[in-house]
Structure formats: structure tokens, C-alpha cells
Structure 1
Amino acid sequence: MLMLFRMPRLTMLAVAGTLAAAPAWAQERPPLPAMPSTGGVGTVPSQPAPLTEEQKVAITQAVKQTNRKVTVPPGVQAHVGAELPASMELYMLPDLALADIPEAKPYRYTVVENRVVLVDPTNMRVVEVMAK
């Protein structure tokens, strides 16, 4: 059985009047909070963090352990400041190297003439060339 309750008309008008009279600021929604970082590549520092010789050796050894076959287009020059072709494939540094050298996290690597080359992936510029 469905029972309907009757609200006195005066009470209904009072409730409706209270809702209609709410100030404008009470009806606006607060701004949404900023989105947290997703951990993407993000911005790369304009000047790379200088790597010590020990860090360079550690990166080179970690990359050699991956034994990745890298194909380099003809005519690619691997010197600091050089821009690599956009078609050139870059790789993330091995986890072992990143765990010990967090400064290298924004960079990717490739191998040119058996030398490990660190590259800024946002502009394809060489930031470091490791010794053979």
C-alpha cells in the first residue's frame, strides 16, 4: 500500500523560498585540484647534469650488457650538440644504470660507432658521448 504524505502548503512554500534565495556563491562549484604528474618524460634540463667518469663507465657497461643491436643511418655524426635524425630509434637506459644515476633519467641512448650516445629525446640533440 502506497501512502502519500501531505505537506502543508505553507511549509512547501517556505522550503522552496529558502532554496531559491540561496546566494550565488553557494551555487558555484569550487575549482578542481591540479592533476598530479603522470611521470612522463617531462622537461629536460637545457644543460645536462655533468656525469662523472665512473657514471659514464657504469652507463656504458649497463648498455653493453643489454646487447641491443642498433641500426644507425649512414652519415650520422655523434658529437655533443649534434641533432640526430628524427627517424633514429632511441632507447631507455637500463634500470641498473638509472637506479645508480638518476640524473640520466630524462635522456635516451643509442649506439654510434660502438660508442654510447645520450640524447635529449625532446629535440634529438646529443648531450653526451661515452668513450669506447
Structure 2
Amino acid sequence: MRMHLSIAAGFLLLAGIGAAAAQDVVIAPEQETVIKEYVKKQPLASVKVPGVELNIGSTLPDTVELREVPETKYSYTVVDNRTVVVDPGTRKIIKVIE
């Protein structure tokens, strides 16, 4: 019984580490500069997304149009007058640009 608990605890620990790593996307400083400059030059109209909090890790629904940022692997959109950088594969917010 004790061995089963140890194995289960190990799996939970690994699952927690994997989940934390998935949320910790770090944008390199040079890419952040590229993104900010592109967003300034290519403004989008703000959209409303009821029920979605603009936090890192929040997922945007498929109905929200994302615009690709050239020279990066990211996309962006504007929600409630706030620009958010999004991982286009998961549609998760990885940065909110103030």
C-alpha cells in the first residue's frame, strides 16, 4: 500500500511540474521588442470576450481573431482595449502588453 502511495505522489509531482512549465512561457527581450513595435504599427480593433479574464494562462475562444507577429512564433489581439500576446497553438495568453 505504501508503495502505491509513493508512486501516486510521484506522478502528481511530475504532473504539477509539467503544468507549471506549460504556463511559464518566457519571451526573449529581442522578440518582445519586435512584438511591441509590430503591434504599434498594426493596431487592431478591440473586441469583447465575455467570461474570459485577461490573465496569463487564460485561453481565448476560437471566435477571437488572432494576428500573427512576423519573425516570432506568437500572435496577438486586442481584448477590452488591452493587447495580449498569445500562443497560437494553444490560444493561451502569454503576455499582456500595457
TM-score, structure 1 normalization: 0.46
Kindly state the Cα deviation for residue 126 of structure 1 after the two structures are TM-superposed: 0.9
Q: 1:50 pairs with 12, 21, 27, which one?
A: 27
Q: Which runs of 4+ in 1 moved over 6 A?
A: none
Q: Is residue 84 of structure 2 the alignment partner of residue 117 of structure 1?
A: yes
- After superposition, give the CA deviation of every residue in 1:59-97 in whole Å (9 maximum; x if it has no partner): 22321221322423233321111111121111111x4xx
More helix by percentage: 2
Kindly state the Cα deviation for residue 122 of structure 1 after the two structures are TM-superposed: 1.7
More strand by percentage: 2
Query: Which sections of structure 1, spanning at least 5 residues, go unmatched?
Result: 1-45, 99-104
CA RMSD, 1 decimal: 2.6
TM-score, structure 2 normalization: 0.59
User: Equivalents in 2 of 1:49, 1:73: separation in Å?
Assistant: 25
Equivalent residue runs for 1:32-51 within 5 Å:
46=22, 47-51=24-28
Q: Which has the larger radius of gyration?
A: 1
Query: Which sections of structure 2, spanning at least 5 residues, go unmatched?
Result: 1-21
User: Equivalents in 2 of 1:117, 1:130: separation in Å?
Assistant: 6
**Number of residue pairs matched by the alignment:** 77
